Amino acid sequence: MSALEPGLSEPQPTAVIPPPPEGGILSSAYRTLSIGMVSVIFLIAFEATAVGTAMPVAARDLDGIGLYAFAFSAYFTTSLFGMVLAGQWSDRQGPLRPLGLGIGAFAAGLVLAGTAGAMWVFVLGRAVQGFGGGLVIVALYVVVSRAYEERLRPAIMAAFAASWVVPSIVGPLAAGTVTEHLGWRWVFLGIPVLVVVPLAVALPAIRRSASGPVDPQAPPAAFDRRRIRLALAISVGAGLLQYAAQDLRWLSLLPGVAGAALLVPAVLGLLPRGTYRARRGLPSVVLLRGLAAGSFIAAESFVPLMLVTQRGLSPTLAGFSLALGGLTWAGGSWLQARSWAEPHRERLMVLGMLLVASAIAAAPAVLVPWVPVWSLAVAWGVGCLGMGLVLGSTSVLLLKLSAPEEAGANSAALQISDALANVVLLAAGGAAFAALGGGSVGAGAHAAGGAAAAGAAGASHPAAFVVVFLPMAAVALVGAWVATRLHDRTDRDLKTA
Across residues 463-474, what is the average pLDDT? Answer: 91
Query: What does the pLDDT read at residue 71?
Result: 78
294-303, 392-401, 433-442: the lowest-pLDDT one = 433-442
Tell me which of 473 and 325 has the higher pLDDT: 473
d(CA 17, CA 37): 19
| pLDDT tens digit sequence for 93-113 | 788 888 889 988 998 999 999
Nearest to 97 by CA among 127, 132, 50: 132
Average pLDDT value for residue range 366-384: 91
- Could you tell me which residue, 167 or 82, shows the higher pLDDT? 82
Q: 101 vs 169, which has greater pLDDT?
A: 101
User: Mean pLDDT over residues 215-233, rounded?
Assistant: 71
Partner residues linked to 491 by β-bridges: 488
Q: Identify the pLDDT of residue 109.
A: 92
Indicate the angle between helix axes 31-61 and 303-311, nearest 10 degrees: 40
Give yes or no for residue 81 having a pLDDT over 60.
Answer: yes
What pLDDT does residue 477 have? Answer: 96
Q: Which residue has the higher pLDDT, 399 or 289?
A: 289
Nearest to 436 by CA among 367, 357, 379: 367
Phi, psi of 488 (to 5 degrees): -75, 140
Higher pLDDT, 459 or 410: 410
> If you average pLDDT over residues 78-101, what whole number do you get?
84
Spatial separation of the C-alpha atoms in residues 78 and 113, rounded to whole Å: 15
DSSP sequence for 399-420:
HHTS-GGGHHHHHHHHHHHHHH
Mean pLDDT value across residues 150-174 = 77
466 or 270: whose pLDDT is higher? 466
Which string of b and e fits 132-162 if b means at least 16 CB within 10 Å?
Answer: bbbbbbbbbbbbbbbbbeeebbbbbbbbbbb
Angle subtended at Cα 131 by Cα 25 and Cα 429, rounded to the nearest 5 degrees: 100
Report the residue count for the chain.
Answer: 497
Lowest mean pLDDT segment, chosen from 343-352, 402-411, 427-436, 474-483: 402-411
pLDDT reported for residue 361: 96
CA pair distance 274, 84, nearest whole angstrom: 19
Please write the tens of the pLDDT for every residue from 312-332: 887 667 766 776 777 888 788
Residue 470: the pLDDT is 94
Check: CB of residue 394 under 8 Å from CB of residue 65.
no
HEC sequence for 157-195: HHHHHHCCHHHHHHHHHHHHHHHHHCCCHHHHHHHHHHH
Written as one letter, the residue type at 494 is L
Is the pLDDT score of 385 beyond 90? Answer: yes
Q: What is the mean pLDDT of residues 141-158?
A: 82
Identify any residues that bridge with 488 across adjacent strands, giving them in sequence order: 491
Q: What string of DSSP letters covers 274-305?
A: TGGGT-TTHHHHHHHHHHHHHHHHHHHTTHHH
Grade residue 491 by pLDDT with cuts at 50, 70 and 90: very low
What DSSP letter does each residue of 359-397 carry, written as one string? HHHHGGGGGSTTS-THHHHHHHHHHHHHHHHHHHHHHHH
Please give the residue that has the higher pLDDT: either 407 or 287.
Answer: 287
Residues 6+ apart with CB under 8 A from 186: 114, 178
For residue 31, the SS3 value is helix
**pLDDT at 233 exceeding the cut of 80:** yes
Mean pLDDT of the chain: 78
Nearest-angstrom CA–CA distance, 472 and 482? 15
Residue 208: burial class (beta carbons within 10 Å; 0-12, 13-18, 19+): middle
Statement: residue 443 has pLDDT above 60: no
Exposed, middle or buried by CB within 10 Å (0-12, 13-18, 19+), for 7? exposed
Question: What is the pLDDT averaged over residues 396-404?
Answer: 77
Quick one: how far is CA 180 from the chain centroid?
26
Q: What is the mean pLDDT of residues 67-85?
A: 79
Q: Which of 157, 154, 88, 425 is nearest to 290 (CA)?
A: 425
Q: 405 pLDDT exceeds 70?
A: no
Instruction: Return the SS3 of 432.
Output: helix
Could you read off the pLDDT of 170-221 as tens digits, one per residue? 777 777 778 777 888 888 888 777 777 777 777 777 777 666 565 555 555 6
pLDDT computed for residue 319 by the predictor: 67
- 124, burial (CB in 10 Å: exposed 0-12, middle 13-18, buried 19+): middle
Q: Which residue has the higher pLDDT, 367 or 251?
A: 367
- As a whole number of angstroms, the distance between CA 181 and CA 175 comes to 10
pLDDT band per the 50, 70, 90 thresholds, residue 457: very low
Q: What is the pLDDT of residues 132-142, one digit of tens each?
A: 988 988 888 88
| CA nearest neighbour of 367 among 465, 457, 296 | 465
Q: Is the pLDDT of residue 351 over 90?
A: yes
Backbone angles phi, psi at 261, to 5 degrees: -65, -35
DSSP letter at 65 equals G
Which pLDDT band holds residue 453 (cuts at 50, 70, 90)? Answer: very low
C-alpha distances in angstroms, 191 versus 109, 148, 289, 392? Answer: 11, 29, 28, 26
- Any idea which of 76-85, 438-447, 464-473 has the lowest mean pLDDT? 438-447
For residue 394, how many C-alpha atoms fall within 13 Å in the half-sphere facing its CB? 32
58/48 Cα distance (integer angstroms): 15
* Distance linking the first and last C-alpha atoms of the chain: 35
Percent over 90 (pLDDT), the chain: 16
Q: Which helix (H) or strand (E) covers residue 307, if one does?
A: helix 303-311
Residue 453: CB atoms within 10 A of its CB come to 17
Burial class (CB in 10 A: 0-12, 13-18, 19+), 306: buried
| Residue 435: pLDDT over 90 | no
Residue 3 has pLDDT above 50, yes or no: no
- Would the pLDDT of 458 be above 70? no
List residues bridging with 397 in a β-sheet. none
% the chain with pLDDT above 70:
81
Q: Do residues 488 and 281 lie in contact, with contact meaning Cβ atoms separated by under 8 Å? A: yes
Taking the alpha carbons of 4, 15, 392, 495 in that order, is the dihedral positive or negative?
positive
User: Residue 447: its pLDDT value, please?
Assistant: 35
pLDDT value for 256 = 79
